[in-house]
Chains A and B, each alone.
Chain A
């Protein structure tokens, strides 16, 4: 097992036993050859993918840099960000990772590709929580083929000399590097999170999915309770995450949770303060009220 103390560096190593400090590295040096346009500049929900990736990483680590080739430093999409320019010869993302490890020898890097539009805070938070500072890297396994995903991963300083040896031996693939070196590998949290966007067709599909509430994906709903149902639920309102497609499905879930005594046939339902059909399709943010038998007057 390699440890941080094994790195031969002239600067003083970090405190013994403490994990190296973590910075963020967004890889934006790719050639985007299959997309036929710069992937970092693709826009989702009004923002470039590079900006989305930087903002996502910045919610989890303090300093976020963008990895670029020397020819890209003046590119307007990248130029306003703190940059780490490739400092070693070669091609591909492993050059960007090694250049970051060279620029800050005692820093570990949360490395993210900039073509992952479905990446979530939950996926990053879990990666950070499960980080193993004694391995060369902590990474997810692919949801599709179980192989390590090197471009949503934490790369430790200890990987630097091993990467040098791997490159010297003719290697260039960061996935194969992780397969041959000690890395902590995690089961994926969310099957979509690491799906990348390589072609115009991938981009069109991702845009569609990100623009609406995807079918079968959980959404947030507000539920308000009145009268006997308020007493049985023990609350007057709540936000909950559900995959229920209709008010009928939602009532079934809530009966299981709270044991409501009234059968659905005795209730009416309202969505967004209007009476609704039980079969109406719910959308994220909807406010749902189940109406027990009324007794005004």
Chain B
């Protein structure tokens, strides 16, 4: 019970049961969803791809780190791969603990680390038929997918979008945070 990939829709009810514990008074979970827009582009679909051997090992290490850093009871993270449509769930993380504070903190820690460290990539497909690998193509050199709104005089590296070169490239909103007690 640490980190794994899912090739079909994540079963959140089953995942939640895996972290249930009678000694835990709190449970925090995070869902990341496919959003219909990114950096001014209308997104219609995302393809997720992972180097699974290494990602599973590194994902297990992240959850083990969370267990050491925070006084929590159980933690689990599941990431989707494959082609996802709007509103589909790309990532789920759940943490149980005696009290709510560490459940929130550990859940956020796991999701942040997974986004930064695991060899997982997503390709955005846009309404206009274009597509691009997030963090790889538009920031590597000259933009390969200039948008129609890009001013003609923009210098080569100030693209009309404003993400931060692979730091925390938020794609999803916190969707469900619930606490018992």
Contact = CB atoms under 8 A, between A and B. Distances in A.
Interface of A: 224, 226-228, 230-231, 261-263, 266, 268, 270, 273-275, 289, 291-297
State the main secondary structure of chain B at its contact with A.
mixed
12 contacts: A227-B123, A231-B133, A273-B54, A274-B54, A293-B139, A294-B121, A295-B120, A295-B135, A295-B166, A296-B122, A297-B111, A297-B171
B136 A228 contact: yes
Contacts of A263: 140
B117 A227 contact: no
Given A270-B54, A270-B119, A293 B171 contact: no
Contact of A292 (B136, B141, B172): B136
A226 B119 contact: yes
* Complex A-B, nearest 10 residue pairs according to Cβ-Cβ distance, in ascending order: A296-B120, A227-B121, A297-B115, A293-B135, A295-B134, A273-B53, A228-B133, A228-B136, A293-B166, A295-B135
B7 to A, nearest CB: 15
Interface of B: 32, 48-51, 53-55, 57-58, 79, 90-91, 111, 114-123, 133-137, 139-141, 166, 169, 171-172
A296 B115 contact: yes
A231 B136 CA distance: 12
Contact of A294 (B139, B141, B166, B171): B166
B51 A224 contact: yes
Contact of B116 (A226, A266, A294): A294
Nearest to B56: A273
Contacts of B53: 273
Given A226-B119, A226-B121, A261-B141, A297 B54 contact: no
A294 B120 contact: yes
A227 B47 CA distance: 10
A291 B172 contact: no
Given A270-B119, A297-B32, A228 B137 contact: yes
B103 to A, nearest CB: 19
Contacts of B121: 226-228, 292, 294-296
Contacts of B54: 270, 273-275, 289
Nearest to B46: A295
A289 B136 CA distance: 16
B54 to A, nearest CB: 5
Nearest to A291: B119
A262 to B, nearest CB: 5
